[in-house]
Amino acid sequence: MLTACGSSATPQEDTATGRLSCVPEFRAPGRVNLIGDHTDYNDGFALPLAVDLACVVRASPRDDGVVRITSDAFDSVVQVPADGSADPREVEPDWGRLVAGVIRSLAARGRAPAGIDADVASTVPSGAGLSSSAAFEVAVALALCAAAGLEVEPRELARACRDAEELATGVPCGLMDQLASLCGRRDSALLLDCRSLDLEPVPLPDGLAVLVVDSGVERALENTAYAERRAECEAIAARLGLASLRDATAEQVADEPRARHVVSENARVLTFADALRRRDVDALGPLLLASHASLRDDYDVSTPELDALVEQLVSAGALGARLTGAGFGGSVVALVPAVGADAIARAVDAPSRLVRAVDGAARIR
């Protein structure tokens, strides 16, 4: 069971009374996906890790049925009813739409309309492909669950947060980001089976580091062809009489580039996870490069900036690199030798950071 309603809290001085009170804090990490993109909504496989960049929400209860949130990223204040009655698409300021989405989706799962006063601080850059919105949704959801005394199993909480994202933005995203944020494991990637929702932590090899390079092309998924790609996949599966492209064979989709990507990417994820288990480091780089080529050529979600970064990283000594997340901009992920990682980062013409795999979301001190 998730530590959603644990007991640790940060003592804070109450400004009105001067007494120490406990303001609970919840931390939810962003994620980077090592391999397996545009597979989650096709019931497929993905291999993300939760990273050491996080959204932290401090929240104290209110007794007037209102959720009031401030953020270090915005000057505005979000104030919405705690019962889910606010339509997420209508909320202003618009960063409050995800908040209203989370409230509505938890209300649908039986959360009592307990209000909170909360503030949010995040180190997950937005628009960079590191799931800042999933981290935000998960941290807010944990705070809302705790305030209402509701315990939600992590997979169901991931579903609630995914639904919140769709309610707020209209984007029919998959479950990978929220599952990674909730269930990440220190020093490991998480092999996700997005059909069964089985998760297997797969330890990352010593001696390798994960480098994330930001292309600087910011994008919000609602302004991309993300929904169109998902619809294309569902149409092909329906035409083949399959529940999803998870069930398609390479032969069935040989002439369908979108589906070909999904089928080949699922196979690459499983091969990659197996190579990690066997410590077969030499197998990893070529799989990353094949994934990028498939996302670029078959799925058509890369950009010239992402392609150039992949090339630069490989020339600078990375084992392999690929766009990570939805594409259309955002970041590239590379596996690099830990010794020499800084030199590779410096050789690339864009902001980069080395990330570590961390445990999933929790209540923290």
Under rule CB under 6 A, residue 265 binds ligand GLA: no
214/180 Cα distance (integer angstroms): 20
Q: Which is nearer to ligand GLA, 164 or 211 (CB)?
A: 164
Under rule CB under 6 A, residue 258 binds ligand GLA: no
Under rule CB under 6 A, residue 125 binds ligand GLA: no
What character string, x for contact with ligand GLA (CB under 6 A) and - otherwise, covers 159-198? --------------xx-xx---------------------
Residue selected from 25, 28, 35, 38 as contacting ligand GLA according to rule CB under 6 A: 38
Q: Which is nearer to ligand GLA, 145 or 176 (CB)?
A: 176
Residue selected from 26, 41, 45, 299 as contacting ligand GLA according to rule CB under 6 A: 41
Q: Which segment (32-40, 60-68, 314-322, 332-340) binds ligand GLA by CB under 6 A?
A: 32-40
Q: Which is nearer to ligand GLA, 113 or 330 (CB)?
A: 330
Residue numbers annotated as active site? 177
Q: Which is nearer to ligand GLA, 3 or 42 (CB)?
A: 42
* Positions 307 through 346 that interact with ligand GLA (CB under 6 A): 325-326
Q: Which residues bind ligand GLA (CB under 6 A)?
A: 37-38, 40-41, 173-174, 176-177, 325-326
